């Protein structure tokens, strides 16, 4: 594991419902008052300046809120992060941009509090079987990780320990966030908002359910244990509880570290091909995926010799979700249709997902088709659908490091989103899109040069 020892510790995470509600109410009143006062002053601005100034005012107050939320730590930070990732369909851009500034808390909870939590969960007898390093090797918003040794066998393990009171504070924090949004009036509390907010609630419940995470970790371990390209930590059930997960200690280096990025083109290509292959396997074979594309959930284990591969270490399976047939089947169809540039098949899938409020005109269909076909550019049959020449090397491989695909997708998506015909997409479909975009980022960071067609087409041939 890439170890980041914290320089500071805190005595406790404030999880009391009253103190957290009080803090949230206070920041809501401050932000709401400032927003109202500054907005009132903006009414005297020239019409052409008013909109830009209003956005700047909202951005300033949203940054204030994000900073104050970060100070509370615990589940409130994770809720903010989730809303930043998945809230672009119901929150103003200025708010999601501010929430993206939230980072997992790097200060660790002091050892005394962690030991008490471990003793409550494991009991003195099981705890006595372990020799635990008192200094954490990773700390986040919901818990922290300590390296340990099983005394009887010498096996090195990691103990992920949930902070005391965090799970119990989830409902209170969720209600506080909704109250805060209502107070500062940055979003109407509509049925669509409630749907997305309930999805975030379900994600939070999964994040603090370490039994679920242990089960999903073991499921991925069983699926990938014989594939030399991946490492999934092994679960040690004797030391797992609702709030503690014990896994094998799996060291590695960060995906975006200079050491990884300086590997040869061939080695980076193989890592990237493995990442893409796993993404499509999750979609087409398992219909279940780790939906958080955060680079903190992946490491690289460099090869021991030239005959063995570099490996991707997969971590943190709390965000794994199983997709319903009503979403994954049309989702697969959209991928196939986009790959084949098949407009008829694409809109068959779109209709199954109720993507439109009403029957759209041909211009809207054309706009969406362009967006979907463009998204499949790195995986296309280049004889039929060639990308810009500057994105192919002499071997006909897609050059991810030189690609401006993200900018072109953003531009096309912006043109599509202006249509009044679009409904808010099904939530599960957005998680699928997030996963695929996370894989794209992986390719870009490591400047992959490979033929996506060779990776995706075998999965389409089987369905």
Contacts of the segment 195-198: beta carbons below 8 A, 24+ positions apart: 195/424, 195/427, 196/86, 196/87, 196/89, 196/90, 196/424, 196/427
Q: What is the pLDDT of residue 291?
A: 83
Q: What is the pLDDT of residue 35?
A: 44
Query: What is the torsional sign of CA 9, 12, 18, 20?
Result: positive
CA–CA dist 55, 50 (Å, integer): 9
Structural element, H or E, at residue 322:
strand 320-322
The answer to whether the beta carbons of residues 423 and 356 sit under 8 Å apart is: yes
Six-digit token string for 308? 């063995």
Q: What averages of pLDDT result for each successive group of 10 residues across the chain (463 residues)?
A: 54 55 49 45 48 61 64 69 68 72 68 95 97 92 93 98 89 79 68 78 89 96 97 98 97 94 97 96 93 84 93 92 89 94 92 77 82 93 94 95 86 61 62 80 93 95 73
> pLDDT tens digit string along 321-355?
888 898 899 999 999 999 999 999 998 998 888 77
DSSP result, 24-77: HHHHHHHHHHHHHHHHHHHTTS-HHHHHHHHHHHHHHHHHHHHHHHHHH-THHH
The C-alpha angle with vertex 210 and arms to 129 and 153, in degrees rounded to 5, equals: 25
Structural element, H or E, at residue 333:
helix 325-340
CA 430 to chain centre: 11
CA distances to 11, 60, 108, 177, 387 from 379, rounded to whole Å, are 51, 41, 43, 40, 10
In the chain, the N- to C-terminal Cα span, in Å, equals 37
Of 199, 184, 221, the C-alpha closest to 61 is: 184
Strand partners, 231: 313
Q: What is the pLDDT of residue 287?
A: 94
CA–CA dist 316, 308 (Å, integer): 25
Q: What is the pLDDT of residue 242?
A: 95
**pTM reported for the whole predicted model:** 0.82
- Other beta carbons within 10 Å of 361: 11
> pLDDT tens digit string along 206-251?
889 999 999 999 999 999 999 999 999 999 999 999 999 999 999 9
Q: What is the pLDDT of residue 362?
A: 80
CA 428 to chain centre: 13
Q: What is the pLDDT of residue 37?
A: 44
Q: What is the pLDDT of residue 354?
A: 79
Of 425, 389, 27, 1, the C-alpha closest to 233 is: 1
């Amino acid at each position: 594991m890439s170890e980041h020892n914290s320089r500071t510790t805190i005595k406790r995470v404030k999880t009391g419902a009253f103190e957290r509600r009080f803090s949230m109410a206070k920041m809501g009143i401050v932000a709401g008052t400032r927003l109202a006062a500054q907005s009132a002053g903006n009414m005297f601005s020239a019409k052409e300046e008013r909109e830009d100034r209003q956005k700047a005012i909202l951005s300033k107050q949203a940054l204030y809120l994000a900073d104050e939320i970060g100070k509370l730590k615990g589940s409130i930070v994770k809720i903010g992060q989730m809303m930043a990732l998945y809230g672009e369909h119901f929150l103003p851009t200025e708010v999601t941009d501010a929430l993206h500034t939230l980072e997992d808390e790097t200060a660790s909870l002091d050892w005394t509090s962690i030991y008490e939590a471990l003793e409550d969960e494991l009991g003195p007898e099981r705890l006595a079987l372990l020799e635990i390093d008192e200094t954490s090797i990773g700390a986040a918003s919901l818990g922290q990780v300590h390296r340990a040794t099983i005394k009887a066998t010498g096996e090195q393990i990691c103990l992920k320990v949930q902070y005391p009171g965090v799970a119990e504070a989830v409902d209170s924090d969720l209600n506080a966030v909704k109250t805060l949004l209502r107070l500062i009036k940055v979003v109407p509390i509509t049925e669509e908002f409630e749907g997305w907010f309930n999805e975030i609630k379900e994600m939070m419940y999964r994040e603090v359910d370490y039994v679920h995470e242990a089960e999903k970790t073991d499921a991925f371990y069983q699926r990938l244990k014989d594939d030399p390209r991946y490492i999934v930590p092994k679960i040690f059930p004797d030391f797992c509880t609702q709030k503690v997960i014990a896994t094998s200690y799996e060291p590695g280096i960060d995906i975006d570290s200079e050491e990884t990025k300086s590997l040869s083109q061939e080695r980076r290509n193989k890592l990237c091909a493995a990442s893409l292959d796993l993404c499509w396997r999750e979609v087409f074979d398992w219909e279940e995926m780790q939906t958080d594309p955060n680079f903190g959930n992946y490491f690289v284990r460099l090869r021991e010799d030239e005959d063995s591969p570099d490996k991707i270490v997969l971590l943190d399976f709390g965000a794994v979700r199983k997709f319903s047939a009503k979403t994954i089947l049309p989702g697969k169809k959209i991928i196939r249709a986009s790959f084949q540039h098949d407009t008829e098949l694409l809109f068959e899938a779109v209709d199954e997902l109720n993507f439109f409020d009403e029957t759209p005109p041909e211009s809207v269909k054309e706009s969406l088709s362009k967006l979907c076909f463009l998204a499949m550019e790195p995986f296309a049959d280049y004889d039929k659908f060639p990308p810009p020449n500057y994105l192919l090397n002499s071997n006909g491989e897609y050059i991810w490091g030189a690609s401006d695909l993200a900018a072109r997708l953003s531009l096309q998506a912006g043109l599509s989103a202006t249509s009044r015909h679009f409904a808010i997409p099904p939530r599960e479909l957005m998680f699928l899109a997030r996963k695929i975009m996370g894989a794209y980022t992986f390719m870009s960071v490591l400047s992959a040069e490979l033929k996506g067609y060779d990776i995706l087409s075998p999965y389409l041939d089987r369905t």
